[in-house]
Structure 1
Amino acid sequence: MPTRKTVRDPVADLLAALNRPGDGSSDFDLNPDTVLPAGRKLRPAGVLVPISLVSGAPRVILTKRSSALKHHPGQIAFPGGKQDEGDADVTAAALREAQEEIGLPAHLPRILGHLPAHETVTSFSVTPVVAVLEQAFEPVPEPGEVEEVFSVPLGHVLNLDNYIVESRIWRGQRRFYFTVPFGPYYIWGATARMLRGLAVRMNG
């Protein structure tokens, strides 16, 4: 099985990957003994997976959340959030949140499609909205929520060899999860799991 995908035509490769069949993912993928409550209700959310094609090799834009936040402080995340009443769908939610969090104009991303939804431990059904950016923009982190906006090479997160399974104690039980570190950035949890889902499709 190939572990690395050379992105010759990133848009064509991404479109092909997004059109491949496959199931969704969850924070519990590596924890098969977890018993989820029957009839649980998940809140819809959308995150943008912005892939910049502006210069050089394609890069995925990510954020580092503020360490002052109550939930997930300091974690690496995609721009995005829960779907509000005013959002037409999860794509609209992802675009709105990206504009608020990193100053990305809503008209700039070219939406290519969606990855299957990812269920989080916080009871969200998160839809990754994959888009390419063909024009540069100046990121403006939202004060108090986003500490940093940065990017990683798309090739790095498409290399399945770069993913590591780690664990920690969470609510009294050992929880396993994927990580895909890059330089000083520790990318883990839901973000790493969704990126790995894209990598599997791109290497399929």
Structure 2
Amino acid sequence: MSPDAVLGEMTELERRLRDALASTHLDAPRPLIDLELPLGLARLIKPALLDNLRPAAVLAPVLRRGDRLSMMFTVRSQLLRSHKGQISFPGGGRDAEDRDAVDNALREAHEEVGLDPRRVEVIGYLDDYPTMTRYLVTPVVGIVDTTQLEWRIDAAEVADIFEVPLEVVLDPASFKRSTLVRDGIKLPFYELQWHEHRIWGATAGMLWNLAQKVARS
């Protein structure tokens, strides 16, 4: 493919991404992601859990490197108490000083990987995601200026970072649907394999939500 064709493709891809997220907002009530749970469990889980979940946010960083766009992920440190070594976005629980999910996500990204909030252009939000660890996570999507960008990784939280081309993340064919059994109940989830990295669980669910939004736009 010629450089001009690649540039045209990626320009169109960014336009589609922005269009898909243009109408999203933080105003209540926030949309809840479709977890595709068995019908009986889905009816029970929403009213029972949502009022008791702690607010949290993650930043889904889209990196612009010349004519290419990619999404950045972190590999969680082995020093953490939960989800060691798993793939995630920078993020965590909301602190008292966080005004909203954007402040929450940008603060966590700065703490975990040294990303300057001024480099991030927030372009929209994904649907809220309830987790088994009792958080209600708001994913914030932002395009990152990578000019002279240097990561400063907090080794206590992050073991490594890597990128996946945005066209891979947004392609529904990149995802595989699997199930796990917990307390005798089969729970569906999505996963995406990129080289040696297996992205699954909440992070893959957020990516699937993004891919579906772009596909419908």
Asked if these proteins are the same fold (TM beyond 0.5), I'd say yes
Cα distance, 1:7 vs. partner?
A: 4.0
Question: Which of residues 29, 36, 45 is equivalent to 1:29?
Answer: 36
Alignment of 1:105-144 (within 5 A): 105-136=116-147, 137-144=149-156
Cα distance, 1:68 vs. partner?
A: 2.8
Match of 1:195 in 2: 207
Asked if 1:76 is matched to 2:97, the reply is no
Q: Is the CA contact (8 Å cut-off) linking 1:20 and 1:201 kept in structure 2?
A: no
1:20-66 deviations in whole A, cap 9, x for unaligned?
Answer: 5794315x424434232745312111110110112342000100101
1:110-134 deviations in whole A, cap 9, x for unaligned?
Answer: 1112122111122211111110012
The percent identity for this pair of structures is 32
* Structure 1 residue matching 2:213: 3-state secondary structure: helix
Match of 2:178 in 1: 166
Which has the larger displacement, 114-123 or 156-165? 114-123
Q: Which has the higher contact order (CA 8 A, sep 6+)?
A: 1
Cα distance, 1:93 vs. partner?
A: 0.6
Q: Is the CA contact (8 Å cut-off) linking 2:92 and 2:105 kept in structure 1?
A: yes
More helix by share: 2
The 1:114/1:100 distance shift into structure 2, 3 A limit, reads same
Which has the larger displacement, 167-176 or 110-119? 167-176
The 1:11/1:76 distance shift into structure 2, 3 A limit, reads same
* Structure 2 residue matching 1:97: 3-state secondary structure: helix
Runs of 4+ with >6 A deviation: none
Match of 1:3 in 2: none
Cα distance, 1:141 vs. partner?
A: 1.7
Alignment size in residue pairs: 198
Query: Aligned Cα RMSD in Å?
Result: 2.0
Question: Which of residues 98, 120, 142 is equivalent to 2:109?
Answer: 98
Q: Is the CA contact (8 Å cut-off) linking 2:77 and 2:156 kept in structure 1?
A: yes
1:117-173 deviations in whole A, cap 9, x for unaligned?
Answer: 111122211111110012331112211210101110111111101111112232443
Q: Which runs of 5+ in 2 are unaligned?
A: 1-8, 25-29
The 1:73/1:113 distance shift into structure 2, 3 A limit, reads same
Alignment of 1:3-18 (within 5 A): 7-18=10-21
Which has the larger displacement, 177-186 or 165-174? 165-174
Whole-angstrom CA distance in 2 between matches of 1:20 and 1:32 = 29
Q: TM-score, normalised by structure 1?
A: 0.88
